[in-house]
Amino acid sequence: MAVTVAIEPGGPKAKRWLVTFGLDADTTVTIPHGFNGIPDHVEFYALNALAVVPGAVSRGTVDGDNIVMNKLPAVGSGGAQVELIAYIPNSSL
C-alpha cells in the first residue's frame, strides 16, 4: 500500500489532509494545495504512535504549489498517520 492522502473539511481559511504512510519504505508525499500562493502557516499533528517517534515525520518544502511531507523509512513505521493543516495565504491568522 502506498501513501494515501484524503482531504478533510478545513474551514474558510484552511485546508486539511489526512496523510497515511502505508509502508515502511514510503518516505515522501507531495500534496498540491491549490492556494495560488505560499500558505501562511503549515501545521502537522501525529495521529498515531507510529508518527509520534521524534523525527519520524517532518514537513519538507512548502512552496506556491505543493507541501512535501517526509517520513523516515524505519522498520515498523508503515501506517503512520498525520493530519496536515495549511492556512490560505493572507488569511490573517
Supply the CATH number for residue 59's domain: 2.60.40
Report the C-alpha gap between 40 and 13 in whole angstroms: 10
Domain assignment of residue 11, yes or no: yes
Task: Give me the domain span that covers residue 69.
Answer: 4-87
Residue 12, SS3? coil
Tens of pLDDT, residue by residue over 26-57, are 999 999 999 989 998 999 898 988 777 767 78
Domain assignment of residue 69, yes or no: yes
Specify the number of domains making up the chain.
Answer: 1
Domain assignment of residue 25, yes or no: yes
| Residue 5 pLDDT class (50, 70, 90 cuts) | confident
Whose grid coordinates read 484524503? 6
Domain assignment of residue 93, yes or no: no
**Those residues with Cβ within 8 angstroms of residue 49's Cβ, 6 or more apart along the chain or in another chain:** none
Domain assignment of residue 54, yes or no: yes
Domain assignment of residue 92, yes or no: no
